[in-house]
Structure 1
């Protein structure tokens, strides 16, 4: 059985997935911002920004872009709309353009935590991990409960193999958001690397309780339970992973290893 878990290596994800995660947080009330130094058109800009964000969430990118640009006609320094245009650029993988908008938003308000997180994504893409980590750290200091700030800080710390610090941030994150499945999945990965097998299994189990179709958590549970010697349970999670993705090579390989063990006891993983 491979001792490598899956799903938690820091890499350049699809920008559309990144932007969707950010949008879900923003539109669910995850960001309460006081627009400092706002001009007389502040209220109008706020309404336009909200419209633009709804369009972007619905994948109506051009309409969203038009609304953000209209917003900046009323106030060229309106930081939420600058951030919105940066998010569109990030979605389109125009990273230099995205960075420009995020930096302009931060020039307006250096305490704009979400823009710091977004800019951190850009620097992570550029593999400037030191700068990305600084941006994530500063966002957490500004807004300790900002979900994607602490989550991506933990991912960065995992990339740097700083397990203890990553674990501390993830425990704090699950205290803020007990049903945040990705945080539990990351905790499982950290505990696995720290050789805390039972704790790893507990967090992966919590992940699939919250998100029953979490593929990587089922695969990783199959592996962790194999190491713990609970082969029937390991088999069940391998089968769940194959139910979600019947062609997944990692699931097939893990199931084969579990089946070999079960045969020693006159059983099969079917």
Structure 2
């Protein structure tokens, strides 16, 4: 009898433990969960160092177009703002972050291309950007060929400046800095004559209060960059929900409001909202 009583008691304890574990599942982060909201959280990968797109502010808050898009999408997935955890996701680690389940989705100037699509599913696109030039407001540089003999800045490891040099301005003097903030500061001081990367990134930097009114975009379309939201390969349910959220964001006007808020001060002439599933080559 004693053995039976102990066994029964153990079974009861085990049952209670299993029940508690099941109930407690709702409070865990949902980096790779179902995306159903409830009591959980959603982890979203963004950039922390791109003003106008993805920026961690000094007070710990986040701002930028990618942040606004991600917040809107998360809401449509059933998450409140306090259930969103933004995770810094550097360009080189985006595919791995999704594969590991570190984040549920990524909105971080993530251009859709065939190589990346082998490892990641993409919702969107939600923005069509182009490689462009940022110059001083009174600059006479209006096209890529004007860069011959001029100092052109981009970040170390980027191919943007090299592409301009090879295709348009073989006499351009290439300057490589550690980050775009340094390039923009160089443009302000006169150390460089132009900065090149995606127009959305350039517009975000130029829209900062300390730079307002000093720069302009040349308005060139040297490449097409279709920004998509990265989703773990094979997660069709989340992919479909994110696409539906992006379509709603455009239709209810929230997309254009986010563009105007984050890029407007730089005079960014954005392309119309792209259609989900349509990639501009």
Quick check: TM above 0.5? no
Q: Which has the higher contact order (CA 8 A, sep 6+)?
A: 2
Greater strand content = 2
Per the normalisation by structure 1, the TM-score is 0.23
Per the normalisation by structure 2, the TM-score is 0.22
